[in-house]
Structure 1
Amino acid sequence: MSDRTPDRVALLALPALVYMVIVFAIPVMVLIGRSFFGPSGLSVTPYIDFLSDGFNWRVIFNTLRTAALTTLVCLVIGYPTALALSWSKGFVQAIMLVAIILPLSVGVIVKAFAWQIVLRRDGIVASLLMATGVWDEPKLLLFTETGLVLGAANIFLPFMILPIYSVLKLIDPSLQHAAATLGAPPVYRFFRLSLPLAASGIISGCSIVFSLATSMYVIPSLLIGDRYQTLPTLTARAFLLMRNERLGSTTATILLFLTIAIVMLTAWLVRRREVQT
């Protein structure tokens, strides 16, 4: 009976595997092939041309910078939220989980349009900053990098909170009590106990958010416009406006390998963390 279990598992996984090969793997291979193969055959000229242009390096920098800032904002907000979620019990915890997960049912386009209203000169953010004395007069956050990062962080925040929460809820609360009993101050307990134990969840959350932020297209298109180009927006521009499939395939392939590198680095960090613990 046990000898046939792996065969049954493989059989159950076969439909999903076939679907992923047809819908994802084959189109990706075709996309990569188009970036290397042109009318003159195999060539890396598109990559050389792309990487020799200073504007394209700026596009790559914009992509990584926006993703890094979005990830940082999500981490700063997400860790305390996940900690509060792990401390809460019963009805309060259920309400918090619903509040975190429910926004995922709303489409990204709807959220981006909502943030257009929030980031206007007379929007909620500008009014709040004026009421607190940070600003003397209303300013437009829409079509700025700050507005883009705020909108993207709000949309991707659940993907940071949930992985961290899944790790924090497994930490024994008695460890904190024991450290406090031995005289460890709160800051010491955080950096030497809580943070290391939650490292795998933090790494996973950062990886998910960073990967999503590097590949977002709709959010920057609606919140900052065409003047701020990233790899996804440049890819869409190459395919839809310029009708340059070779350039679009090249930028999409570069974005793909950037994302793969992020995932591989995250997996290595998690494995290293597990070995150390």
Structure 2
Amino acid sequence: MTLPEVWVPPHQEAGRSLEVVTARRPLGWPAAACVLVVLAMVASALVTNPAWEWDVVGQYLFAPSVVRSVLLTLELTALGIVLGFALGTVLALMRLSRNRRLSSVAWGYVWLFRSVPLILQLLFWYNLALLYPRLSVGVPFGPAFFDFGTMDLIGPLTAAVLGLALHQAAYAAEIVRGGLLSVDHGQREAAAALGLPPARRLFRIILPQAMRTIVPNAGNEIIGLVKGTSVVYIMALLLVAAIWYLVLTTFLSIAQHYVERYYGRGRA
């Protein structure tokens, strides 16, 4: 009995290798050349223009006061990001909790600190001793158990860190919450079916997958906070403007809530 012959494509015949042809992109090099020419023109306009006074810039670039300011900026950024994302993660978990009280408190925090401008928050912490010379602990609208002065409680650096961290926590909470919601619900169900404790489910299954969404947005927030530290040096703002910011951002937060609910329909 003879077996039927099988047709073999010409490129798969014995002794012949498959030839790989690279896709041609004829417009790639001309486009890259145009971009380089534009960049060279921009660089030339910056370097050759005497109005920029690059010699003066060079004198002050590494001045001691400038270097100290750079170090202070890095310190404020690091503290603001670490403390902000730590608190923001807790707020995100509270927002996703089935406990309505926890969810409402977290939503209220995010609403308030996203609505009030950063400069006003810094102004509040810087002038806490003027607004509240003494703080008391006791029954609300009733007797106080003990009180303490606030004059030496918060220094300038502490006020800046508090303002940046509490402000950043509101945005970090939304970033972390969005990352956690991006993980497919089946991952949670599978981890629960394996009998993993809730904390292990979060840190070993859900959070590593959510980091793919969290990291890019967190990078934007870090860059924004680096530039936002400049507000620390400018401490002036009208309260009327802050109220208008509060009203406008409230409407944006309400709109965000309904958009999220619309696109999240059908999700557990």
TM range (shorter): 0.5 to 0.7
1:38 counterpart residue number: 50
Aligned length in residues: 188
Q: Structure 1: which amino acid aligns with 2:84?
A: C
The aligned counterpart of 2:125 is 115
Q: Provide TM-score, normalisation by structure 1.
A: 0.51
Distance 1:36 1:210 in 2: 33
Say whether the 8 Å CA contact 2:92–2:177 is kept in structure 1.
yes
Alpha-carbon shift at residue 180 of structure 1 (Å):
4.0
- Cα 1:191/1:90, change in 2 over 3 Å: closer
Q: CA deviation at 1:121?
A: 10
Residue identity in the other structure for 1:144: P
Cα deviations by residue, 1:219-269 (Å, 9 ceiling, x for unpaired) = 34439xxxxxxxxxxxxxxxxxxxxxxxxxxxxxxxxxxxxxxxxxxxxxx
- Contact 1:120–1:140 under 8 Å retained in 2: no
Determine what percentage of the aligned residue pairs are the same residue: 21
Alignment of 1:55-66 (within 5 A): 55-66=65-76
Question: Relative to structure 1, is the Cα distance of residues 37 and 222 closer, same or farther in structure 2, using a 3 angstrom cutoff?
Answer: same
Aligned counterpart in structure 2 of residue 193 of structure 1, from 190, 205, 209: 205
User: Hey, what does 1:69 align to over in structure 2?
Assistant: 79
C-alpha displacement of 1:59: 1.7
Q: Map of 1:1-277 to 2, 5 A cutoff?
A: 37-38=49-50, 44-88=54-98, 96-97=106-107, 99-118=109-128, 140-216=152-228, 217-222=230-235
Segments of 5+ residues of structure 2 without an aligned counterpart are 1-41, 138-143, 237-268
Greater mean deviation of Cα atoms: 191-200 or 88-97:
88-97
- Give the structure-2-normalised TM-score: 0.53
Once the two structures are TM-superposed, the CA of residue 209 in structure 1 deviates from its matched residue by 3.1
Q: Secondary structure at the match of 1:222?
A: coil
Higher alpha-carbon Rg: 2
Which amino acid is the alignment partner of residue 124 of structure 2? A
Deviation at 1:90, TM superposition (A): 8.0
* AA partner of residue 159 (structure 1): Y
CA distance in 2, matches of 1:63, 1:150: 14
The structure carrying a bigger helix percent of its residues is 1
Check whether the contact 1:73–1:153 (CA below 8 A) recurs between aligned residues: yes
- For the 8 Å contact 2:180–2:210, the answer to whether it is kept is yes
In 1, the alpha carbon distance for the partners of 2:53 and 2:106 equals 53
Gaps of 5+ in 1: 1-28, 224-277
Distance 1:65 1:156 in 2: 15
Please tell me the root mean square deviation across aligned C-alpha atoms, in Å. 4.3
